Amino acid sequence: MEIEHPLAAESSTPGAVQASRARWVAAAFSLGFCSLATQTAGLREITSAFGGNELVLGVALTVWLVAGGLGSWAGSRTAPGPGLLALSFGASSAAALAPFMAVWAARDFVLPGLGLGLTQMALVSAMAFLLPGALLGGLFAALLPPAATAGLSAARVYAWEAAGALSGGLMILVAQLLAVPLLPAILPALLAQGLAGALVGGPGARGPRAVALVAAAAACTAGIGLHISETRRTSLPPGHNLVERAQSPYGTIEVTEAAGERSWRVDGVPLPAASDAAEREEIVHYAMAQAPGARRVALIGASAAAAAQEVLKYPGAEVDLIEIDPVLVRIARERMGFLLDERVHVHSLDPRGFFGRRQGPYDVIILGASDPLTLSANRLFTSEFFADARASLAAGGVISLALSGSETYLGERYRSLQTSVFRALREVFPETLVLPGRRTVMLGSDRPLTEFVVQAVEARGVPTQYVRREYLEGRFSPERLRMARAWVQAPVPTNRDSRPASLRFSLDAWLAQFGEAATTPLLLAIVVLAMALVLGLKVEDRPISVAIGTTGWVASAAEVAFLFAYQTAAGALCRDVGLLFASFMLGAAAGAALAGRWGLNLVRTEAGLVGFLLLGGGWMQVAPRLGLAGVPAVIASALWLFVSGALGGAEYAAVVARTRGASAAAGRLYAMDLVGAALGALLAGAWLIPRLGLTVTLLTLAAVKVVSASVVVLAPRAPAWVRRAPWAWVAGMVMLFGFAVVVVHPDWYVVLYRFSLDRPYPWAVGFFVLAGLAAALGVRPRLVWSPLWRGLQYIVFSLVVFFPVLRCWFRVPYVFCHACLRPCVFGLVRPYVVWGAAVMNLSAYPWCHHVCPVGLLLRAQPGFPAAPTRAAGRFRAGVFVFVVAAYFVGLYGRDAYERAGTIYHFFLRHSYAASAVVLAVAAGFLVANLRVRPSFCRLACPIGALMDVSRDALAQGKTLPSQRGDLQ
Amino acid sequence: MAPVDRRSFLRAGVLGAGGAFVGGWTLRDVFLDPGKGRFTAGFRSDAPAQLGRYSREADHYETHGDTVRCMLCPHSCLLEEGDRGFCRVRVVKGRRLHTIAYGNACAVHIDPIEKKPFYHFLPQTLIFSLATAGCNLRCLNCQNWEISQAKPEETAASDLMPDRIVEVATAQAIPSVAYTYSEPLIFYEYVKDTALRARARGVRNALVTAGFINPGPLRELLKTIDAVTLDLKAFSNHFYKRISGARLDPVLETIRVIRQEGVWLEVSNLVVPGLSDDPDDVHAFCRWLVEEIGPDQPLHFLRFHPDYRLRHLPSTPVATLEVCREAARAAGLRYVYLGNVPGHEAQNTYCPRDGRLLVQREGYRSDLRGLADGRCVCGERIPGVWA
């Protein structure tokens, strides 16, 4: 049903309509402007503070898009008046500061120097993005009805929003190029939101308009204050003083000093310092020892800057250092004292582009890059790069690189990483050598290499501190060299530009350090998929929800793929991301605005997307051979992104046209688009590209689009039952699959238990208990969409309730949880749950009937034609006591306590064992629910039974609203 | 919102306060103190399906009905059938505790003994070094985390039973065996059996350990051990809990027991910048060493390099290490060394009486230029096992 908007009456005359339309255009533009600025700045801030890689970026982006999807869904269900709209704009202005405050608070909270895993990064992203993302997404959907009354279609609003995002992207790009810190850079977006708030408020809401303006001004002032305090504040390693903090288009660089020694780091990750003799000597001397008489040496990356002095120890040597970031080079010279010798020549260029132009010839090329944990690093470890490097080497020249290693033991993930790089190296160089150490050094050449590197260094007569016989003779024993060679024989693919296998293995190794696998992105993907299903169920014309959801999915995944490709080709994504985002948004704006004029209906855009993705897959094969770099690479990538955005925008306009102007549906479809985009970004970054490579990823996306296009074309001809609920069938399949996994997997309970040990889980339980308490007190915000909220509650509390039901129900009663010796997360969080539930149940049964999954399930049985029975209080108490006693005493006997030693040991012994008895009892309760509703909650569950028994005494027999429905 | 009467309000208040108290007390264990007192439960239902060639019944455990309590280290894991201990290598099968780290060494090398570090124990010799997977600590800066934080079945291990180790060592004339890299105390039975056989063949045994073990099992093990390098993480219980997932007191007790048992001991301390470089803590620790063990106790301050989860921390400034060394000398210790600093003179041993250079070290090589029969030419006896 379309919502009648309070502002509808305001725009009645043609002049007023014209003026009103301009207001909504400005508001939509400002929304896009602020959204992109906040999103991009937030992503940069997260990676600046904690380091980052594509997986982290993918998860953070997903959180943003999910928040936007949630917000726009909520916004499509509300009809805020002009005052509330103006206030919301003001609030979104202030919320744009949230990413900065959240990231800084998180950084101050964690142990200094501690790297964060993906789960923690997802939490930081949630803290940073949930509020602004939801507010900005919600405002978009809330704008649609009043804009429609002013004659501005949803497609036009979308187009203006995209145009605003384009401007936001360009603003960030300029800020990057001018090295303006990000917080001051986004202040214009905050002001714009305030002005937009004043505009949309209209004449009848002077107070809220003024508040919106004041909020924006206050947010700007607070932003400036925060920025100043941040520059003064120390977030440095303890005991370190800040020498300089500089912003470059490629990251945040900090130089610190402690005990007279300087350190430097980029985005929180330390680079080798002057005192790290082993670091700088190993990458230089192993290679130089292989090339007697080497004079021309290329060092790649500023992280090799400290090594230049080692090269210059060789008579006649000259160094070319290739580093794309001029700020980093300046800092290396001015603050770290590196690269000052006149024999060092610095080239501020991308190394791929530099060697792509066949520079040299060099006698030695030394790669200073760290592990290929990011795409920008990985592109220096591919066979394509090695081929360029070989072409720049003189005959007999040597290339040297280093990867994380160990001289003691190398695990499977690092073996895979080393092997994928080694295969790429061996594909290009006929002679290779692997030298073990804390960092494994690999050498490649076209002439034989010697394993006796220490002797060769000694023969050159170069003074060294670490690369000496006294340190290394044990390390380069025949047994260790053999071991190092064996470690690079894993059955894994070669690292290539189009299939970045080393990136995948680096990410696997990185996750393993935090005891994580791909759990976090998987969980996120499940949540997002569930959201997409729920949203799809609500859209009246379901085929169009399939179309827009999958279009959001593939457009976003294709965007990630083209950004990856650009990063591989040019290595300047960090610098140009604003421009490329802007190009995508420009396409989206143009597509949405011009879809009608171009005659693009839904079927044509679907077909266009299939063709685009197939062509894109072909382009990924052709592009590396073209060797695009610099401006041509930017233009090519921007064009692809433009087309991708244009098709997405045109499809949005086409599906909106199918809703015949229903603004609420347009808002929901926008949410669907965002949720699809979240899933696309996550899956493409985390799984598809690292595992399938760019080309196959795009072809897979094309296949998805073929399926959705088929749905669009065939749906009108499908049988009625399919048309009624296509998503329900998909949901059913997913649930069946999940059930099968849980039942068939022999260790499913271990998997669940491990999942529960993730810190976010107890926090989520705590949050939902508090939310339940608030709900019990009558505080139920309208913005919370109740079925979705219940779904989340169900997921979170399912583990708390069902896991113990199946694993320790009646074996460790709730009251003993706090005394249990096991660090069981369920047990440890349950005291909160129990007391929270007790408080909730004081005046009614909100816990039992609205929160607890068992109660929710049993409430789903009202359709049975049986008359419910109210059991007497004493009878219920008797049943409860009998069940508990019978279970323990009957099942184990009295002597079980004595055998166990103590009562705690007894509970430990009898906990966590699968039991057919428990399942039978559960089935019995399910059947009993036909007569006593809900039987389990009121007869057996300690919380429900206790409250039920004591309810008469405590609440004096009042039957309360939420209870009535269940007792009827 | 419905009005709340006084009685309901009071009830809600009492229940809420009770809930907050009980919940807060228990949630503290989740977020702040995962060890939860002196009990740890390890990994539930995580034992391998079958015990194989690399398992033996473990020493030092108690049974309580059907539960088993491991008594090897202060974690005192309380386990039941199918559970795995905190160290990842001790599992309950058939109501008995088994070790699954026996004969399946995943890292086996021959190192210079100075690398361990041992500076006063058989210098200039090689040492046969081995490790299995697993550890009873959770150090955030562990440099061998791929084995220490792994289960034995997750690592690629070689078949190396105790007799074979001794055979190899004697065949190659290697005078000692080191149990090192991860935490040897958790493959206790493997160490004990190997050490017993090695000693019978004249090969000496050395532990490189964090020392988190109960005194009883330690005393039993030390009967076959000749030397220990003990890595004290920091002289701060807070550091142990926050960075290493353990406690300080048992480690200090281990140092006392080693000295009481007459086993040669060298202590090392990795100085983590900002986390364990407090000069007051360093001084207090050195005072404790002097009082409990004596001024002749060798102490190594090692330089930290970013590793594992502490990758965003810079290396320790050399000057900080030198400050630590001065604090140790001021406290009365006479043999204080700096490690992981190539070329530093603090790797050498000097006579405490006349300052003469006795052992010059470059890398992992020692030159005993001023030392004869463990004495300086001035007659000062230098503590250690020199031959």
User: Which of A205-214, A527-536, B182-191, B366-375 reaches the highest mean pLDDT?
Assistant: B182-191
Span A510-532, mean pLDDT? 74
User: Which of A111-115, A232-236, B266-270 reaches the highest mean pLDDT?
Assistant: B266-270
> Do the Cβ atoms of A261 and B317 come within 8 Å?
yes
- Cis peptide preceding A463, ω within 30 of 0: no
Q: Which pair of structure tokens corresponds to residue A525?
A: 């993907």
Rounded Cα distance, B158 and B132, in Å: 10
Q: Which is more confident, A774 or A343? A: A343
Residues of B whose CB is below 8 A from A51: 312
Average pLDDT, chain A: 78
Q: pLDDT band at A2, cuts 50/70/90?
A: very low
For the segment A359-371, what is each residue's pLDDT rounded down to a tens digit? 779 999 999 878 9
pLDDT of residue A297: 97
Lowest mean pLDDT among A343-347, A557-561, A766-770: A766-770
C-beta of residue B369 within 8 angstroms of C-beta of residue B358: yes
Q: pLDDT band at A536, cuts 50/70/90?
A: low
Query: 10 Å Cβ neighbour count for A515?
Result: 15
Report the number of secondary-structure helices (H) and strands (E) in chain A: 43, 11
Q: Which is more confident, A746 or A548? A: A548
List the single residue in B45, B144, B364 with the smallest CB-CB distance to A750: B45
Instruction: Single out the residue of B223, B181, B177 nearest to residue B201, CA to CA.
Output: B177
Residues of B whose CB is below 8 A from A832: 19, 23, 27
What angle separates helix A14-50 from helix A118-149, to the nearest 10 degrees?
170
CB contact burial B291-321 (16+ within 10 A = b; e otherwise): eebebbbbbbbbbbbbbbbbbbbbbbbbebb
Strands B227-231 and B204-209: parallel
List the single residue in B106, B243, B305 with the smallest CB-CB distance to A409: B106
C-beta of residue A708 within 8 angstroms of C-beta of residue A609: no
List the single residue in B19, B242, B364 with the smallest CB-CB distance to A474: B364
Q: At a CB cut-off of 8 Å and minimum separation 6, what does A335 contact?
A: A243, A244, A255, A262, A264
Share of chain A above pLDDT 90, in %: 29
> Do the Cβ atoms of A113 and B143 come within 8 Å?
no
Residues of B whose CB is below 8 A from A276: 305, 315
C-beta of residue B208 within 8 angstroms of C-beta of residue B131: no
Q: Which pair of structure tokens corresponds to residue A429?
A: 């160089």
Rounded Cα distance, A421 and B279, in Å: 44
Q: Is A360 left (phi over 0), alpha (psi -120 to 50) or beta?
A: left
User: Which of A405-419, A819-833, B175-189 reaches the highest mean pLDDT?
Assistant: B175-189
Query: 10 Å Cβ neighbour count for B18?
Result: 14
> Number of A:B CB contacts under 8 A?
235
For the whole model, what pTM was predicted? 0.79
Q: Is B206 left (phi over 0), alpha (psi -120 to 50) or beta?
A: beta
Q: At a CB cut-off of 8 Å and minimum separation 6, what does A13 contact?
A: none
Rounded Cα distance, A734 and A750, in Å: 21
- How far apart are the two ends of chain A, measured CA to CA in Å? 31
For the segment A554-586, what is each residue's pLDDT rounded down to a tens digit? 998 999 889 888 888 877 777 787 788 888 888
Q: Is A566 left (phi over 0), alpha (psi -120 to 50) or beta?
A: alpha
Span A306-321, mean pLDDT? 94
Rounded Cα distance, A467 and A477, in Å: 15
List the single residue in B18, B19, B317 with the smallest CB-CB distance to A258: B317
3-state SS class at A685? helix
For residue A730, the distance in angstroms to the closest alpha carbon of chain B comes to: 34
Q: Which residues in chain B come in under a pLDDT of 50?
A: 1, 30, 34-39
Average pLDDT, chain B: 90
For the segment A913-936, what is each residue's pLDDT rounded down to a tens digit? 434 554 555 556 656 655 555 666
Lowest mean pLDDT among A114-128, A774-788, B68-82: A774-788
Type of residue at A187: L
Query: 10 Å Cβ neighbour count for A960?
Result: 16
pLDDT of residue A868: 42
Segment holding A860, helix H or strand E: none
- Alpha carbon distances (Å) from A919 to A480, A806, A851, A914, A923: 56, 7, 22, 9, 6
Lowest mean pLDDT among A208-222, A878-892, B295-309: A878-892
State the Rg of chain B over Cα: 23
Which residue of B lies nearest to A512 if distances are taken between CA atoms? Answer: B146
C-beta of residue A654 within 8 angstroms of C-beta of residue A647: no
List the single residue in A273, A472, A912 with the smallest CB-CB distance to B314: A273
- Cis peptide preceding A787, ω within 30 of 0: no
Rounded Cα distance, B384 and B122, in Å: 8
> Do the Cβ atoms of B315 and A273 come within 8 Å?
yes
pLDDT of residue A543: 76
Q: pLDDT band at A239, cuts 50/70/90?
A: confident
> Do the Cβ atoms of B312 and A51 come within 8 Å?
yes
Distance of CA B114 to the CA centre of its chain: 17
Instruction: Single out the residue of A68, A403, A44, A60 nearest to residue A251, CA to CA.
Output: A44
Q: How big is the CA angle at A91 (ends A87 and A92), to the nearest 5 degrees?
A: 120
Which residue of B lies nearest to A409 if distances are taken between CA atoms? Answer: B107
pLDDT of residue B312: 87
Query: 10 Å Cβ neighbour count for A71?
Result: 27
Span A319-338, mean pLDDT? 93
Which DSSP string do the residues of A422-457 spell out, in sequence order?
Answer: HHHHHHH-SEEEEE-SSEEEEEEESS---S-HHHHH
Which residue of A lies nearest to B38 if distances are taken between CA atoms? Answer: A821
Rounded Cα distance, A627 and A352, in Å: 10
Lowest mean pLDDT among A947-951, A959-963, B14-18: A959-963
Q: pLDDT band at A965, cuts 50/70/90?
A: very low
Span A526-546, mean pLDDT? 70
pLDDT of residue A789: 64
C-beta of residue A840 within 8 angstroms of C-beta of residue A846: yes
Query: 10 Å Cβ neighbour count for B124?
Result: 15
Rounded Cα distance, A674 and A857, in Å: 31
> Do the Cβ atoms of B274 and A238 come within 8 Å?
yes
Q: How big is the CA angle at B313 (ends B307 and B315), to the nearest 5 degrees?
A: 80
Looking at A725-868, list the stretches that DSSP marks H as alpha helix, in order from N- to C-terminal side: 726-744, 748-756, 760-776, 786-807, 825-840, 846, 853-859
A811 CB-contact burial (10 Å; exposed 0-12 / middle 13-18 / buried 19+): buried
Instruction: Single out the residue of B210, B205, B219, B298 nearest to residue B261, CA to CA.
Output: B219
- Cα four-point dihedral sign B29, B34, B37, B39: positive
Residues of B whose CB is below 8 A from A900: 64-67
Share of chain A above pLDDT 70, in %: 69
pLDDT of residue A780: 60
